[in-house]
Structure 1
């Protein structure tokens, strides 16, 4: 099925209700500090997230969700990132897979999977990247071969999969046919197909061997596909049409810039609190530095909100710009806050160091910032 399904979402009261409860906010903050040290995902916190109803934000009302549009999703992701960026990126990937199933799934897939994504029974993750494929995913080694009985067998390895070992269903990108010469775009290549693979499938083996500097509680790791059997009804969208699905992702307006925005806001709040406690707000130079930082945050927020609202004549480009601007602003704001804090922020365990690492991580998430630039540049006249 193509992306022509009827839009069953709403921006009404149920969508607007996607807010983080104060008690959960405190738990999120405590978990962020703890996982930054251990590097291990907080499964107890994930259980709370599943039970909170937040994962329903992007699921259409018709399938038991809150029916939030991309603006609502961006706001929710920003709220999460302000207290726990690792959970924010897990949630963002869940929402992204939800949107792909809503747009491209068969009616059976939508009826079966979306209610489980809404009530927290299932957590979704994406498994697209792999070691030698590059940021543009044009040289996939992971393959799917159709068997005589109509099933498919998947083999290969995926890297930088957020939510590895936690997810109940993975959106996996594989090569189902040899790429045609000269048909590859900037992102993806011909002959690539998406499959929805349940985490319980014995042929899908997660590995949390990655030890990342940032997003340490995000369970970002490897996924190995070993004679992983799936059915024809597990294929998402037409065979060989994954690049078309990928190109439509940014058109949705949901943006990783929202994660960066939450991190930037958290860093600014930390700086403001520090200045107030030290009596530094009496100094005009400090006040003016803080105002400049807040202005940069408002600038990033404006483009993230514009991406979510999809009011631009070219919403896909706005989404790319929003990720570029917000992620770079977040990293620079964290660095400026570090200068403002001086020695107070130099301790290894200081929260600002975690924020800076998390802000840097957003720039490396797909599409990476360099790939975002290339995707934007290809729209210019030659």
Structure 2
């Protein structure tokens, strides 16, 4: 299969991954090259200047980026996710306003859903959206673990717009009484802040996005007021899977193992070759389930997407651990690429929906 990344972009992504900032500051030059690559328009419809790609195309690009730089892959995944939500739920005015820029890379999108105390299922939000007398909305609160904080041009923000959120339905994600808004990064009252000091995904610009009296028009609301749960439910139905990032991480770890074996003349040993084949088989199994999610050919595409994230993220962590053992002392050195990949692999389990929430959602489907 022909690579989608140019050799120059792949080399620059790889170089950047080895020099990430512990505070989460991204490599802005690399992001500029990603913006100019034309890849960010993958999930945008053709009529709005994009490639009109489906979830298979999105998953493939994300995995290819993640094989050399998982942090940038996460930024790209969030951009694709917001692009798809605007294409699906946006008004024609919103599509005309945002999609051309999202397609040509002049606009980078990010999600700002999570916050402290809301839980993995994004319930009990403390951030609020209050409708003003003139029909506009005032947004207040603080969103945590927002990937792309400080580098995105638009955030898809989730806030509580009802006076009180209704009781949560077991096995759900989000809640009635919540609403999405498209908020420009230059809007007054939007204040991003990095410095989480994450163990993995250090170049993903993951941090806080504070909303301090941020006033937006009703035309910036994405989807129905109080109906964010319906928008969220459609996300996993799309087939775009965070498992694609895990597949890329596993591929990167496997490439390290093969390179190590070649460099030390170990491929002549049957035990080493067989061990590498076992790793490759687990990698291909993870890739297959992510491909199946993207193709949406199963009876329940949403469940397949959840399974793909669970399987691929667990497989990637296990593959990274096995490769670290194969590398011996070279895999235990501070700053070694396999150490970074392992930390990145572990991080996927905590990204929404978290692996534990994925398990709850799958289990809920059995009980109705």
TM range (shorter): over 0.9
Where 1:225 maps in the other structure, the secondary structure is strand
Question: Is this contact kept in 2: 1:60–1:68, CA < 8 A?
Answer: yes
CA drift of 1:34 comes to 1.0
Stretches of structure 1 that go unaligned for 5 or more consecutive residues are: 1-15
Q: Which residue of 1 aligns with 2:176?
A: 190
Q: Which residue of 1 aligns with 2:344?
A: 358
- Give the distance between the partners of 1:38 and 1:370, measured in 2 at CA: 27
CA drift of 1:277 comes to 1.2
Q: Which residue of 1 aligns with 2:310?
A: 324
- The correspondence for 2:131, drawn from 146, 150, 166, is 146
- The correspondence for 1:226, drawn from 189, 197, 212, is 212
After superposition, residues 310-349 of structure 1 pair within 5 angstroms as 310-349=296-335
Question: Is this contact kept in 2: 1:154–1:228, CA < 8 A?
Answer: yes
Q: Does 1:84 align with 2:73?
A: no
Q: Which residue of 2 aligns with 1:158?
A: 143
- Give the distance between the partners of 2:331 and 2:171, measured in 1 at CA: 44
- Give the distance between the partners of 2:171 and 2:217, measured in 1 at CA: 28
Q: Does 1:105 align with 2:72?
A: no
CA drift of 1:38 comes to 6.7
Question: Is this contact kept in 2: 1:138–1:188, CA < 8 A?
Answer: yes
CA drift of 1:287 comes to 1.2
Q: Which residue of 2 aligns with 1:73?
A: 58
Q: TM-score, normalised to structure 1's length?
A: 0.94
CA drift of 1:37 comes to 5.7
- Give the distance between the partners of 1:74 and 1:161, measured in 2 at CA: 20
CA gap of 1:298–1:131, structure 2 versus 1, over 3 A, is same
After superposition, residues 204-353 of structure 1 pair within 5 angstroms as 204-353=190-339
Question: Is this contact kept in 2: 1:192–1:243, CA < 8 A?
Answer: yes
- Give the distance between the partners of 1:306 and 1:324, measured in 2 at CA: 14
Question: Is this contact kept in 2: 1:152–1:232, CA < 8 A?
Answer: yes
Question: Is this contact kept in 1: 2:139–2:215, CA < 8 A?
Answer: yes
RMSD value over aligned CA atoms? 1.4
Q: Does 1:29 align with 2:29?
A: no
Q: TM-score, normalised to structure 2's length?
A: 0.97
- Give the distance between the partners of 2:54 and 2:105, measured in 1 at CA: 19
- The Cα offsets for residues 174-224 of structure 1, whole Å up to 9 and x where unpaired, read as 000022246576211110000000000121100002111100000000011
Where 1:160 maps in the other structure, the secondary structure is strand
- Give the distance between the partners of 2:165 and 2:194, measured in 1 at CA: 31
- The Cα offsets for residues 292-340 of structure 1, whole Å up to 9 and x where unpaired, read as 1100001001100000000001000000000000000000000001111
Q: Which residue of 2 aligns with 1:203?
A: 189
Where 1:150 maps in the other structure, the secondary structure is coil
CA drift of 1:344 comes to 1.8
CA gap of 1:39–1:234, structure 2 versus 1, over 3 A, is closer
After superposition, residues 169-184 of structure 1 pair within 5 angstroms as 169-177=154-162, 178-181=164-167
After superposition, residues 8-19 of structure 1 pair within 5 angstroms as 19=4
CA drift of 1:118 comes to 0.5
Question: Is this contact kept in 1: 2:24–2:196, CA < 8 A?
Answer: no
Of residues 40-49 and 151-160 in structure 1, the stretch that sits farther from structure 2 once superposed is: 40-49
- The Cα offsets for residues 45-99 of structure 1, whole Å up to 9 and x where unpaired, read as 1111111111111100000001111000000000000011011000000000000
Of residues 161-170 and 180-189 in structure 1, the stretch that sits farther from structure 2 once superposed is: 180-189
- Give the distance between the partners of 1:264 and 1:182, measured in 2 at CA: 36
Q: Does 1:59 align with 2:49?
A: no
